[in-house]
Structure formats: C-alpha cells, structure tokens
Chain A
Amino acid sequence: MVTIYERKPGLSRRELLKRGGASALLVISGSAVISPKHAWGLETSALKPETMATLIQMARDIYPHDQVPDKYYAIAVKAHDEQAGKDPAHKDLIENGIADLDKKAGSGGYRGLGWEEQRVALLKDIETSPFFQAVRGGLVVSLYNQKEVWPIFGYEGESYSKGGYIARGFDDIEWL
C-alpha cells in the first residue's frame, strides 16, 4: 500500500500579496531577469528583459498557482524569446502587446499594479486579442507539461517503469 501523497500547503494568496506581489521578487539586470531569492536567472536575446519580466507576471496572472514558483512560469514563456529571435512579427506581437499593457496600467506599468485583480482586469480587456491568445495558448502546454511541476499538483506522471499502480495504490481510497 502506498502512502497517500498530501500536498504541502503553498503560499496563500494573502501571504503572497503581503509580500508585495510576485513582481517585487524579480530583478532586471542587463539582459536578464533574475530572482535573487530563488537563485535563478533568465537571459533574453530577442525580447527586452523588462518585457520578459512582465510576460512572466502575465503568465502567472493567466494561470495563477500560488504554490508554483516563478521559475516555472519563466520556463513556460521562454519560447517567446526564442521565437521572437527567429520571427520579427512575433517579436512585434509580444513587445507591442506588453507595451500596450504597460500603457493601459498607467505610470507604474503592468508589474506596478499591486493587486492581481487590477492586472486581471487589464487582461480581460485584451482577452480576444491575438497577443493574449498567443501567450495563453502556448502557456497551457508549456506550463502544465513541465514534469517538474507535476508533483506540486499531485500528478505522478509516467508509471509503466514502476510496474503501474497495481501494487501502488490504484484502489487505496479510504474515505468513502
């Protein structure tokens, strides 16, 4: 009998907001977005690093999971930088889309909006735009298809090499 995996509670939304929102955790340095607290950085080559930082925040606002660290959102949107390097039209789509969001957000820009609700309201306005659809459409695969995030959701992934679940809890439900 396998032990039921109970997820550790993630950051509550209130805690997250108390820390000033995710935006405060990211630092722009040269051509990179850096998360000093979590020791990772993402070098950009085609997109501006500020654009990438906003894209990461936007990704989190589209698919907010408070228990998923920024790193995975950064990995999920990284392909836009690569695509922008190959395709000027895609670069324009992303850069202009982010610039538009920043403009709509006012003086502090999109990342300067403290409340998720404020940022989501802006996203709602552009929900049907090609820019939003390009970001959201890619993200639903690139975020949730990262094997590293699966354990956070309690999904165990590949099971054949472990002999399936016949001896690992396929019928271990105890609360019914």
Chain B
Amino acid sequence: MAAPFDLNNDGVVVIIGSGAGGGTLGNELAQKGVDVVILEAGARHEYDDFVNDEWDSFTQLAWKDKRTTSGDWRVAKDFPNLPAWIVKSVGGSTTHWAGASLRFQEHEFKALSTYGKVEGASLIDWPITLAEMEPYYAKAEAKMGVTGTNDWPRLPGNNNFKVLKAGADKLGYKECHTGNMAINSVDRDDRMSCQQTGFCFQGCKWGAKWSTLYTEIPKGEATGRLEVRPNAMAVKINHDASGKVTGVVYADKGGKLQEQKARIVAVAGNSIESPRLLLNSESAKFPNGLANSSGQVGKNYMRHTTGSVYAIFDKPVHMYRGTTMAGVIRDEARHDPSRGFVGGYEMETLALGLPFMAAFLNPGGWGRSFTTALDHYDHMAGLWIVGEDMPRAENRITLHADEKDEHGMPIAEVHFDDHANDTAMRDHAYKQGQALYAAVGATRTFPTPPYPSTHNLGTNRMSEKAEDGVVNKHGQAHNIKNLFVSDGSQFTTGGAENPTLTIVSLAIRQADYIANQMSEKSI
C-alpha cells in the first residue's frame, strides 16, 4: 500500500510532478527500494472519472492557472493566458497525450554537428547518443506497450487514417502506418485494448492508453515505497549552506505551506513550471535561482513546430471516430536541407470534436468563410504537423514582474518568437498536407495555426559543458549534486518526434543513475 512519509523524513527522494517523467521515475525508484514522495499540484482523478466531453474534460484536467505570453507566435494573441495545453492532475499530461511513441533519430541527438551553426539559434549536441539511449527506449516501449514493437500489432486504421494513407500513397510517401502508439492493441498489463472511442485527449476511460496514473503510480504504490501527494503545489526548493537541496516547500490543499524534507529532489513539472520553480527558489547563495549558475534556466523554450491541416471532402469521413492520433507519415522527418530548412517533421492524424474545432480551426475567425468549414465537420479529415523547432535563448520562461498566484509565487511569463527555420518548415508542411488531401479529392483545405503548446521542451537543458545548460547527461544539475530535472525541460533539442517516449526513457535511465549514486553514497 501507499506509504505516507513524514514531512521530516529527510531520506526520501521528492519528485515534483507525476507525469511521464515524475511518475516513471517514482515507480522505477520505488521498485529499486528507494523511498519516494511525489508532490502533484493537481487532484487525483482515476480513469473512470474522465469525461468524453471536450470542455468538461478541459475543466477537469487542464492546467488553467494564469500565465502571460509575449512574442510573435499567434498563441500570444489568441490565447494570451493559455500558452500551453497541459494537465494539472495525477498522471500529468500522460492523461491527455495522444500516445505517439517514436524514438528520436540518431542525428537529432547531434543537432549542432548535423545542421551546423544556425544563425539566431542556440543549437548544441545532446551529451548522449542514440546508441546510449537504445536500451532505455526498448525498456520504455516494453513498459508502455508500444504498438509495432515487441510483437504487439499496430492498431487498426480509422477513417481519418485511411484518408491520410490514401493521400500518402498518391504523393509517393513510403513510410505511413498507424504509428507506434502506447495504446494497447491487445489486452496486456491488466489493461484492455483500444475500443476506438476517440477522446484520447480527454483521458482514456478504458485505460487502454498508457498513463502513469494507472500504470507506474499504482505499481510504485504497491511496493510500499511510493507516496503520491495530490493537491500539493511546490513553491520553493530549499538548500543548506553547502548548496545541497534539503526539502521542498509546497502549498497543501488548504493553501497552507508545508515543507517535505528530502535527500534528493527531482523536478518534473513540465517545461513552464519546472524553470518557474527553480527561478523562484532564489536565495542569497543562488540569487538567480537554483541550478542557474549558467543563466540558462528558463531559456531555449521549445514547443515543436506545429500546425494542422484540415480538409473537406464531398463525402463523409467522421474523423473523430477512433484513435485521435491514428497514424503517421515519417518521410518528411528526415534532415534534408534542400527543402529550405534543417531538421524534419512528422505528419500525424488528428481529430478534434466540434466544440474544439470551433475554438481552434481559426481562432478569432467568424463569418461564412469560417462557418461553412464547420458545416462540413463530418466530411473533414485532419493531420497535425510536429517538427523540430530551433532553440533560441530569447524564447524563455521568466517570472512575471508583478503578478503572483494565490500562493504568492510569481506567475510564469512565456516568450516565444518563431525562428525563420520554424516558419519555413511549417510552410513546407502546410503545402505537403494540403497537396496530400487535394490528391484524395479534397474540395477545400485549411492550414490551421498551432494550438496552445502540448510539447513544451528545453527550458532546463542537458549539456556537456556546464555553461551551455542546466543539467548533465543524467539530468543532474551541473552545480547541485542532489538536484535533478526529470521532464521534457531537460531536452537539449526537440527532435521531430512526440517527446513522451524520450521523457520516459530518460526517467528509466535516470533512476538507474540515482539508485547507483545513492548506494555509492555519493548523493
């Protein structure tokens, strides 16, 4: 059973966040006999509490705390206080994610070496390689039940996928399939297989899609060594005179501040909250915030180069039926600068329900140009573009100068400007997506702007040299031995692939490292 740990127990590893990084790290450590407390800002909703309704689910799961935005990205205009569409609930954004689980490509770990210096970008290479990551990718795929690996069949294609596949064939794309999805295609791990319900973004009510909520977390709790404390919003990490972290101050459900002592702290609150917490943990010893002697905390915010293409046909599609992300085209994910940009992008099917289609197809749009698109909602197909965006020091998370949340913590300000490479890639992808659907007979296509970010990356990046980033190749802070970063904020660059599989793989790898260091008494 779940072990409640005393606030003064300074032998525990405290993890902030229970999503892909935090939830996985917590279970992995608990399985190795390490005592763990996970502080989760959100409430605990089990999977039968999820709702098949876009706005109701958003209300239930989304991180809605106010943030501010600036920069030339359209999100700053259309959704000025909602830069990211992520989750505040036990399980974090693994409740909401679509399940796409693609490995990074070899060259994506070596962005600077492969792409060369790109003006206006702060590219560096990862301090790890694909070869080093492969065993951990394999463990993550086995843990998550990724289709197309370990003899698990791929999911059957839904209507939206069939349209995508027909277009891919017409354009001559070679690598198009129903993806590598962390969604059970057969009953396994005491969870059932996908029932093609749709609403993957609203939490899978069958538990067929992997989420830490009903896999890692209960498995960790069953060891007696993991406690997940919901409604616990971390506001500050404390340290001692030597600079070692000693505990985490959090606001409990009633808003009362508590401190959980810790032997080790791992930050996994996603790429906006993690740097916010480190920056807010400033002290006389660390006046610029924790782990920030390089000044890199919060910088190099990446969100993937995204966008969608929707298309209307003269016959019905019903794209919303079945898996939300039901297939992928990988041909454009290669690095091929002859296209006018470095890096590559994936094309993945995506469907929104009518309420979210109205909100996101063309935010702010109105009149017949807009409404005649929705009139043919059931004749629509759609795909999402996800590509590598360029890290830029100016794209960053900072603490708001004046505005504070209810716990007195400055809210996060998110600044983002597209790099010219991002724009060139997005334009290329729009063109390909529109050509793809036109080839199947689309009568009208829509190059739809990026949604609030779901892939938030890079704000505490991993680097070989301490001056280039925040953490080393194990996600360990360059200047504080017992402080770790365990989420997508440690990504050095974004790659073209959906990040969750890499976050989970890094967490498994980090757990090995932490357990070793603990048994060697070096931390």
Contact A175 B367 (CB under 8 A): no
Whether the Cβ atoms of A160 and B205 lie closer than 8 Å is yes
The size bracket of the interface on A is 35 or more
Q: With A164-B195, A176-B163 as given contacts, are A4 and B156 in contact (CB-CB < 8 Å)? A: no
Chain A residues whose CB sits within 8 angstroms of the CB of B357 once the complex forms:
144
List B residues 345-361 near A (Cβ within 8 Å).
353-355, 357-359
The reply to whether B355 and A145 form a contact with Cβ atoms under 8 Å apart is yes
Query: CA A166 – CA B366 in complex, angstroms?
Result: 35
Find residues 59-105 in chain A having any chain B CB closer than 8 Å to their own CB: 61-65, 67
Knowing A154-B377, A157-B53, A176-B166 are in contact, say whether A141-B355 is a contact too (CB < 8 A): yes
Of residues 1 through 51 on chain A, the ones whose CB sits less than 8 Å from some CB of chain B are 4-7
Contact, CB under 8 Å: B367 / A160 = no
Q: Is the CB of A145 within 8 A of B162?
A: no
* A164 lies within 8 A of B55 (CB): no
In this complex, how many residues of chain B approach chain A with their Cβ under 8 Å: the count is: 45
Q: Which of A145, A158, A170 contacts B196 (CB 8 A)?
A: A170
Q: Which residues of A contact B317 (CB under 8 A)?
A: 173
Chain B residues with Cβ under 8 A from A175's Cβ?
313, 315
Using Cβ atoms and an 8 Å threshold, which residues of chain A touch B364? Answer: 136
A145 touches B366 (CB 8 A): no
A5-B378, A141-B55, A173-B159 are known contacts. Are A63 and B354 too (CB-CB below 8 A)? no
**Interfacial chain B residues near A165, Cβ < 8 Å:** 158, 195-198, 321-322
- Tell me which residues across on chain A come within 8 A of B72, comparing CB atoms: none
Interface string of A150-176 (1 = CB under 8 A from B): 100111111111011110111111011
Nearest Cβ distance between residue A159 and chain B, in whole angstroms?
Answer: 5
Which of chain B's residues have a CB closer than 8 A to the CB of A64?
367-368, 371
* B33 interface hit (Cβ, 8 Å): no
**Does B127 lie at the interface of the complex (its beta carbon under 8 Å from any beta carbon of A)?**
no
Q: State in angstroms the CA–CA spacing of A153 and B364 once bound together.
A: 20
Residues of chain A contacted by B371 (CB below 8 angstroms): 63-65
Report Cα–Cα, A173/B196, bound state, in Å.
15
Contact with B along A116-140 (1 / 0, CB 8 A): 0000100000000000000010001
Residues of A within 8 A of B162 (CB): 171, 173, 176
Could you say which residues of chain A place their CB within 8 Å of the CB of B286?
Answer: none
What residue in chain A is nearest B360 (Cβ atoms)?
A140
Choose among B159, B353, B354, B379 the residue that contacts A172 (Cβ–Cβ < 8 A).
B159
Contact between chains at B355 and A144 (CB < 8 Å): yes
In the complex, what distance in Å separates the CA atom of A140 from the CA atom of B54?
Answer: 13
Q: Which residues of B contact A168 (CB under 8 A)?
A: 321
A153 touches B378 (CB 8 A): yes
With A63-B371, A166-B196, A170-B158 as contacts: A4 and B316 at CB distance below 8 Å: yes
B137 at the interface (CB under 8 A from A): no
Complex CA–CA separation, A118 to B313 (angstroms): 31
Q: Is the CB of A65 within 8 A of B374?
A: yes
Instruction: Report whether A158 and B355 are in contact in the complex, using a CB–CB cutoff of 8 Å.
Output: no
B52 touching A169, Cβ below 8 Å: no
Question: Once bound together, how far apart are the Cα atoms of A17 and B206, in whole Å?
Answer: 48
Contact B378 A155 (CB under 8 A): yes
Q: B52 and A170: CB pair below 8 A?
A: no
Is there an interface contact between A171 and B378, defined as CB atoms closer than 8 Å?
no
CA distance A157 to B55 in the complex (A): 12
Q: How far is the CA of A5 from the CA of B377 in the complex (A)?
A: 12
Q: Are A171 and B157 in contact (CB under 8 A)?
A: yes
Contact: A62 with B366, CB < 8 Å? yes
* Min C-beta distance of B259 to chain A, whole Å: 40
List CB contacts (< 8 Å) of B164-200 with chain A: 166, 194-199
Chain A contacts of B374 at CB under 8 A? Answer: 65, 144, 153
Chain B residues near A61 (CB-CB < 8 A): 367
Please, which residues of chain B bring their CB within 8 A of the CB of A157? Answer: 52-53, 353
Cβ of B320 within 8 Å of any chain A Cβ, yes or no, is yes
Instruction: Judge if B336 is at the interface, Cβ distance under 8 Å.
Output: no
Cα distance, A145 to B317, chains bound together (Å): 21
CB distance from A115 to the nearest CB of B (A): 13
Closest to A153 in B: B377
Min distance, Cβ B357 to any Cβ of chain A, angstroms = 8
Q: Nearest Cβ in chain A — how far from B98, in angstroms?
A: 16
Q: Nearest chain B CB to A29's CB is how many angstroms away?
A: 30
Which A residues lie within 8 Å of B206 (CB)?
Answer: 160, 164
Q: A120-B367, A136-B366 are in contact. Are A159 and B318 (CB under 8 A)?
A: no
B246 to chain A, nearest CB (A): 46
Interface pair A141/B359, CB less than 8 Å apart: yes
Q: A173-B162, A173-B317 are in contact. Are A65 and B375 (CB under 8 A)?
A: yes
Given A172-B159, A176-B162, residue A164 in contact with residue B368 (CB < 8 A) = no
A120–B170 Cα gap in the complex (Å)? 41
Assess the B353–A155 pair: CB atoms within 8 A. Answer: yes
Q: Does B370 lie at the interface of the complex (its beta carbon under 8 Å from any beta carbon of A)?
A: yes
Closest A residue to B56 by beta carbon equals: A145
Q: CB distance B198 to A155 under 8 Å?
A: no
Q: Are A171 and B156 in contact (CB under 8 A)?
A: yes
B310 → A minimal CB distance (Å): 14
B440 interfacial contact with A, CB 8 Å: yes
A150 to chain B, nearest CB (A): 6
B: which residues have CB within 8 A of A?
A: 52-55, 156-159, 162-163, 166, 194-199, 205-206, 313, 315-318, 320-322, 353-355, 357-359, 364, 366-368, 370-371, 374-375, 377-379, 440
Residues of A within 8 A of B (CB): 4-7, 61-65, 67, 120, 136, 140-141, 143-145, 150, 153-161, 163-166, 168-173, 175-176
Closest 3 CB pairs of A and B: A154-B378, A164-B197, A164-B195
Q: List 15 A-B contacts (CB under 8 A).
A: A4-B316, A63-B371, A65-B375, A141-B359, A144-B374, A145-B355, A153-B354, A153-B374, A153-B377, A153-B378, A161-B52, A166-B194, A166-B322, A171-B322, A173-B162
For the complex with contacts A155-B377, A156-B320, A158-B53, 6 further pairs of A-B residues with Cβ separation under 8 Å are: A63-B371, A65-B374, A144-B374, A153-B354, A154-B379, A172-B159
